[in-house]
């Protein structure tokens, strides 16, 4: 997918997710690592987003994950910041502090460095807490460049929300 079609798809999906949230009277919060607030920016670009979007917590560092989301040091040490376990802990911690109906988290390696053979650049995990259940998934691994990788992560978040709502 080229950058132009990525941004078109982002716009369309953000609007569709927003409509679903509004139609169902749900609130949304996000906990972001590798996207650094890009998901929140995308959602709050939409007119009327204050009716469904509650907050975003950018927890880029491990310390921020510990301080603001209650991710445990054991989780980070055992599985790493980029793992399904950390994504799950981030979303569940956000649900506790926000009280939002839908809480989504993302953690990954945006690049261009930081990857390993086990977790290459473009590795992204997401989790959503919705209706008392946590759904944790790995996004498709994409490594074009940092900007594309981050926006692709937001697209994956929106895809996941679109499927769950």
- Ordered by start, the domain boundaries in the chain are 3-164
Residue 131: per-residue pLDDT: 96
pLDDT grade for 98, boundaries at 50, 70 and 90: very high
What is the pLDDT averaged over residues 130-152?
A: 95
The per-residue pLDDT of the chain, averaged, comes to: 96
| 27-62 pLDDT, tens digit each | 999 999 999 999 999 999 999 999 999 999 999 999
How is 125-158 classified by DSSP, letter by letter? EEEEEETTEEEEEEPPP--S-HHHHHHHHHHHHH
Residue 117, pLDDT score: 93
Looking at residue 151, its pLDDT comes to 96
Task: Provide CATH code, domain 3-164.
Answer: 3.90.950.20
- pLDDT tens, residue by residue, 13-32: 999 999 999 999 999 999 99
Residue 1: the pLDDT is: 76
Section 147-160 average pLDDT? 96
Contacts of 155 (CB under 8 A, 6+ apart): 6, 9, 10, 13
Q: How confident is the model at residue 137 (pLDDT cuts 50, 70, 90)?
A: very high
pLDDT mean over 83-100: 98
Q: What is the mean pLDDT of residues 10-15?
A: 95
106 neighbors 157 (Cβ within 8 angstroms) = yes
């Amino acid at each position: 997918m080229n950058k132009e079609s990525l941004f078109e798809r982002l716009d369309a999906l953000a609007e569709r997710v927003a409509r679903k949230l509004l139609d169902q009277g749900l609130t949304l919060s996000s906990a972001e690592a590798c996207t650094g607030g890009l998901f929140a920016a995308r959602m709050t670009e939409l007119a009327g987003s204050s009716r469904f979007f509650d907050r975003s917590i950018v927890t880029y560092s491990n310390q921020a994950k510990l301080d603001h989301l209650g991710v445990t040091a054991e989780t980070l040490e055992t599985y790493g910041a980029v793992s399904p376990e950390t994504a799950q802990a981030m979303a569940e911690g956000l649900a506790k502090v926000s009280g939002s109906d839908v809480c989504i988290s993302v953690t990954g390696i945006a690049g261009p460095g930081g990857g390993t053979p086990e977790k290459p650049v473009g590795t992204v995990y997401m989790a959503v807490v919705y209706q008392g259940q946590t759904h944790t998934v790995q996004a498709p691994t994409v490594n074009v460049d940092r900007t594309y990788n981050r926006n692709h992560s937001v697209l994956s978040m929106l895809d996941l929300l679109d499927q769950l709502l």
